[in-house]
Structure 1
Amino acid sequence: MKLSATVLSFAAVVAAHGDHDHDQEPMSGPLEGLWYNTIPGDGGTQADSVFSGISTFGRIKYHPCLSNSDVNYDIAFIGAPFDTGTSYRPGARFGPSGIRQGSRRLNLYGGYNVPLDANPFNSWAKVIDCGDIPVTSYDNAYALQQIEHGHNYLLKRKPHTNAAVPGFSKKGRTLPRLITLGGDHTITLPLLRSINREYGPVSVIHFDSHLDTWKPKVFGGSPSEQASINHGTYFFHASQEGLLANDSNIHAGIRTTLSGPSDYENDGYCGFEIVEAREIDKIGTDGIIKKIKDRVGTEKPVYLSIDIDTLDPAFAPATGTPETGGWTTRELRTIIRGLEGVNLIATDIVEVAPAYDTNAELTTMAAADVLYEVMTLMVKRGPLSIEGAGEDDVVPELKA
């Protein structure tokens, strides 16, 4: 039996507005005896201060998912502290902890996303922070294996929500979504390898100031197989390994210098279309959004990779390879919100190197806020399932 239009429509509405159906839960303190009564006889509801406690993304619950196979979730944050594939500034190994620090205020007032009219912290989805994948800093080849295997161990797990309808994975299962905190951009290669094991080739939306499809001999000289994989060549390798869906990938925010026009030609071989950063001056954010959505569509699985250097260094100075002439934080968040409807199955944000940030933590806050938008899109889209199952198989809280 096909899902009716009514059921599908209602599912989308519930996913977007599930937070209206019950009271938002206030943040609680660590021990009831330490609370104070804001109103006599109230019983006390004092929570941790936003600047106290252990840092997780948006102050969500932490679970050691890598050491406990029984933990499940619908959306999980996982760190990949790796930066030995960078060509300029190292330091992105501290990106996961920095982004978590920058996210502390996201859930301070309940986490409701006004422009997207949804609350990603209080919806149908169970969202947790799984901590970091253990990554060696002494052997890049082994580090990439650790990232791939750690990511895949979490990706192939049964989601928390009872989504029994067929999913987009190779085995027809509904899988959880992972949001990875990098790490330099090299980590996207093992992440795509993990995605490929479950989904096959996927379309990629790539926000960056650089192409990252350079041939190893052009970028780095390729003195060894290990050195040929770095944060400027990982998409070349992904293309060679068949991880990318042909001719449905897109870069956005590009403004780098090139070794020559042939770099663009090679980029085309990898199946990418290019949206230059400067195009925003002519077509605006709406035009950028349209180009992206026209390229990847709204049905097939899409992987989203965000390099924080998409932003101008004025807004995100703490990055591995800064390039002037980038977008503002407001512009990038607007463009991300415009991707509503795209079938995002997983995301990473990379190249956040907190050591180069200002005292005001501009870059880490910007990275956290961008992921807040992505997280909301995932929640509004609903579970990673496809049309075509019987009505009895619909997630209970999404049934009409």
Structure 2
Amino acid sequence: MPSFAGISTFAHLPYLQCFDEGVVEDYDVAVLGAPYDIGVTFRTGARFGPSAIRESSKRIKGYNNEIKINPFKSWAKLVDCGDIPFEPFDSEHAIKQIEDHAKYVLQRPPKPDEEVAVPPRLVTLGGDHTILLPVLRALRETYQRPITVIHFDSHLDTWAPEIYNVKAKGSRFNHGNPLYHAAKEGLTTNGTSCHVGIRSSLYDEEDIARDQALGFNIVKANDIFSMGIDGMVDRIKSIIGPMDDTLLYLSIDIDVIDPSMAPATGTPESGGLLTREMKYILRGLNGYNIIGMDVVEVAPAYDTQAQLTSYLAADLIYEILSMIVKRGEQ
């Protein structure tokens, strides 16, 4: 079948109704859509991100010459589970539904050669960045330990609701604070999680101190000038720790990329990483135990006719899929 034809699953992966009770089938990597954008604070439209990313991924199905593997022709069974069903009217209820469905996917039965089931790797297509919180809740319960998070973003996403005068109960969870709640709930490792690509303005100078108190380190976009790109990779590795001991989750807000290359996002910030730099940094993490990832904040209504942003999102997922499968091969 030509790459431009067919139903739009991610990279033409087989579709599996993972959420239906009674469906018993093993898989190693599960792609989930979470078309949630109740939590945005500026431009809306990230609910259409999963479908745009899948459409742009149709041409991806081959050998990764940098990672040296074809993730679609390997030991791993990759499936697209479709979109998580949730009610888009109440944020807390929707977040709980996303959490419950992610847990369900993570609890696949053991394979014939497994005494204990190894949880599949989760690839989540956002949606706004709020979805990171329910996914981390599901992973924390599954692995019974905090998760090391590398958060690629132009914003810290650790806004404290009590500091920023968020009074409405339904507004406590939004795309500016999933990591605040995650840290408070003990979902993330303290001191070995980090933000990469930060460059936005802050509400006040205390934002950095509050972020550090939650256990995060910062690698700014402008650090590329002083550290160089290899220096940035080395700095990230020094924060997250040894490969063998780290359960790593990669969360990519597409606005970490400069808006000249990724315009379709709700809160664009100038001065971001270039796509080539971003891919290089990701490949520097090859060999780590990546248990999950997401790409969020793709709002295709603001893209060019060339679909630059959604193509980029699909490519970044492909890079990380390749690393996940490569490590499992070793």
TM-score band w.r.t. shorter chain: over 0.9
Q: Which residue of 1 aligns with 2:118?
A: 174
**Is residue 194 from structure 1 mapped to residue 138 from structure 2 by the alignment?**
yes
From 89, 112, 136, the equivalent of 2:87 is 136
Change in 2 beyond 3 A, CA 1:162/1:281: farther
- Answer with 152-161 or 49-58: which moved more: 152-161
Change in 2 beyond 3 A, CA 1:339/1:161: farther
Change in 2 beyond 3 A, CA 1:71/1:229: same
Q: Which residue of 1 aligns with 2:23?
A: 69
User: Does the residue aligned with 2:197 lie in a helix, a strand or coil?
Assistant: strand
Give the letter for the 1:74 counterpart.
D
Q: Which residue of 2 aligns with 1:230?
A: 174
CA contact (8 A) 1:121 1:127 kept: yes
**Is residue 93 from structure 1 mapped to residue 39 from structure 2 by the alignment?**
no
From 102, 120, 133, the equivalent of 1:151 is 102
Quote the Cα distance in structure 1 between the aligned partners of 2:78 and 2:210. 39
User: Does the residue aligned with 2:291 lie in a helix, a strand or coil?
Assistant: strand
User: Does the residue aligned with 2:295 lie in a helix, a strand or coil?
Assistant: strand
Q: Which residue of 1 aligns with 2:265?
A: 319
Quote the RMSD (CA, aligned, Å): 1.5
Quote the Cα distance in structure 1 between the aligned partners of 2:239 and 2:109. 30
Structure 1 gaps, min length 5: 1-47, 165-171, 384-397
The list of structure 1 runs, each at least 4 consecutive aligned residues, that deviate by more than 2 angstroms after superposition, is: 158-164
User: Does the residue aligned with 2:236 lie in a helix, a strand or coil?
Assistant: helix
Superimposed CA distance per residue, residues 216-253 of structure 1 (whole angstroms, 9 cap, x where no aligned partner): 1344x211232111111111111111111111101000
CA contact (8 A) 2:133 2:181 kept: yes
Structure 2 gaps, min length 5: none
Superimposed CA distance per residue, residues 308-353 of structure 1 (whole angstroms, 9 cap, x where no aligned partner): 0010001110011100000111110111111012211111110011
Quote the Cα distance in structure 2 between the aligned partners of 1:173 and 1:71. 12
Larger Rg: 1
From 190, 201, 209, the equivalent of 1:265 is 209
CA contact (8 A) 1:77 1:179 kept: yes
TM-fit CA distance, 1:161: 8.1
TM-fit CA distance, 1:376: 0.5
Give the letter for the 2:319 counterpart.
E
Quote the Cα distance in structure 1 between the aligned partners of 2:262 and 2:86. 25
Quote the Cα distance in structure 1 between the aligned partners of 2:114 and 2:67. 24
Change in 2 beyond 3 A, CA 1:125/1:260: same
Quote the Cα distance in structure 2 between the aligned partners of 1:57 and 1:256. 31
Quote the Cα distance in structure 1 between the aligned partners of 2:3 and 2:91. 36
CA contact (8 A) 1:74 1:160 kept: no
Number of aligned residues: 326
TM-score of the superposition, structure 1-length normalised? 0.79
User: Does the residue aligned with 2:169 lie in a helix, a strand or coil?
Assistant: coil
Q: Which residue of 1 aligns with 2:197?
A: 253
CA contact (8 A) 1:205 1:303 kept: yes
Q: Which residue of 2 aligns with 1:352?
A: 298
